[in-house]
Amino acid sequence: MLELRHRGGCPGPGGAVAPPPREGEAAGGDHETESTSDKETDIDDRYGDLDSRTDSDIPEIPPSSDRTPEILKKALSGLSSRWKNWWIRGILTLTMISLFFLIIYMGSFMLMLLVLGIQVKCFHEIITIGYRVYRSYDLPWFRTLSWYFLLCVNYFFYGETVADYFATFVQREEQLQFLIRYHRFISFALYLAGFCMFVLSLVKKHYRLQFYMFAWTHVTLLITVTQSHLVIQNLFEGMIWFLVPISSVICNDITAYLFGFFFGRTPLIKLSPKKTWEGFIGGFFSTVVFGFIAAYVLSKYQYFVCPVEYRSDVNSFVTECEPSELFRLQSYSLPPFLKAVLRRETVSLYPFQIHSIALSTFASLIGPFGGFFASGFKRAFKIKDFANTIPGHGGIMDRFDCQYLMATFVHVYITSFIRMSSSTKMRHEKRQSTVRIFSWRQLL
């Protein structure tokens, strides 16, 4: 941005750089050129110059108002700010966990609605930050186009989901058959309309800023919509693939905070000064143990391990199946050093418990980097939290910054190690069946 300031010529009004006069050219120039120049200068004065602003010129966003309930403020009024924040975070965390259990009880469809609601709120929080910067230039259509693109991308992803998992329902509705048949063309046409509207909204001297905001919207869509779509894909594989990863991240957040609060001494990373090595390490071991136990408990119930399917005859989602080998107890031989400690040769485990170790390890070692990324983002825009939706916690995005990274890992893990092994086994069984048929034909 600063390069334009140091190029030849003197900056004119509005930051425009005037080239030096040509040799032999009159100082005043003709009236037509002067009139055109005046018009351009007026436009420059009206809209300003993006390149004249630096990072330090980003408008400061006022701190969020305190939304803590008055009853909590009165009850905790005698405590220091450190302990007051500890109690507020603790009470709100228990409240959110209780609501989460209630939604789990209400079924997979309510979980999908929850994911969709969180996606929209996270998108709103990130777009609002960009809008505050963009609004200072008084330019049109940024927020309108942002929400339009959100609608288009959701239509594309969830239309694919309807086609994949609601096939029997779609076959009964002729109107839906048309939408599904031409789904991708309709999605592209909707996006193309938004793209054309963006091009028509471009304003001279603000092209760069508008393309910044265009990229801002699309990166936000990548972070929120794409990842929430993967969360729902994981849910269709079985509720356990939804619950164990999400609860592992929640467990890591809570235990890392507790270990850091009571034992933290060594700073972990400059982006988050309150993060400590003690909290990071304590959160890791606690999360792995929690994930292993949670996997054992959930693997016992069909409600959690069976893939979520839509049944047209009952018009609802069902979770009934014969559990796969992942969720059947298997005997495993112990390593020699564990045999001496446990005084037994074998141990019975669900195979999913072994997979849970990988999920929990990612949640505790790599997942926090989603939070560090969010911390760097907030520092860049001089804000403490994305919003003030949850007292003591900040915005919804502050609580789900690690979940989106986790959702991608789980989806990749399932496609790489779970479906791959299942499809390989099916191909092997099919090959063996073909060999048996061929042998019988030879005998006959």
Q: Say if residue 421's pLDDT is above 70.
A: no
Higher pLDDT, 7 or 247: 247
Choice among 221-230, 267-276, 279-288, 349-358 with the minimum mean pLDDT = 267-276
In this predicted structure, what is the pLDDT of residue 140? 75
| Residues 332-346, mean pLDDT to the nearest whole number | 85
pTM here is: 0.77
* For range 77-81, the mean pLDDT: 79
**Domain assignments of the chain as residue spans, ordered by start:** 78-139+203-420
Query: With pLDDT > 90 as the criterion, what percentage of the chain qualifies?
Result: 43
pLDDT of 24? 40
319 vs 299, higher pLDDT: 299
* pLDDT beyond 90 at 252: yes
Task: Quote the pLDDT of residue 138.
Answer: 67
Say yes or no to pLDDT of 416 above 50.
Answer: yes
**How large a percentage of the chain has pLDDT more than 70?**
76
Q: State the average pLDDT for the chain.
A: 80
Partners of 267 in the β-ladder: 276
Tens-place pLDDT, residues 35-60:
544 544 444 444 444 444 544 555 55
- Over residues 260-269, mean pLDDT: 92
CA nearest to 154, candidates 120, 197, 182: 120
Long-range contacts of 125-130 (CB under 8 A, 24+ apart): 125/386, 125/387, 125/389, 125/395, 125/396, 125/397, 126/220, 126/223, 126/224, 126/386, 126/397, 127/216, 127/217, 127/220, 128/387, 129/61, 129/381, 129/383, 129/386, 130/213, 130/216, 130/217, 130/220
pLDDT tens, position by position, 117-151: 999 999 999 998 888 766 656 677 888 899 999 99
Confidence of residue 154 (pLDDT cuts 50, 70, 90): very high
Lowest mean pLDDT among 50-64, 208-222, 284-298, 333-347: 50-64
Q: Give the single-character DSSP code of 158.
A: H
Contact status, residue 216 vs residue 131, Cβ threshold 8 Å: no
Q: What is the pLDDT of residue 6?
A: 42
Q: Is the pLDDT of residue 410 over 60?
A: yes
Reported confidence tier of residue 161, pLDDT bands at 50, 70, 90: confident
Q: pLDDT higher for 27 or 367?
A: 367
Cβ distance 388 to 396 under 8 Å?
A: no
pLDDT tens digits for 102-125? 999 998 889 999 999 999 999 999
Identify whether the C-beta of residue 61 lies closer than 8 Å to the C-beta of residue 388. Answer: no
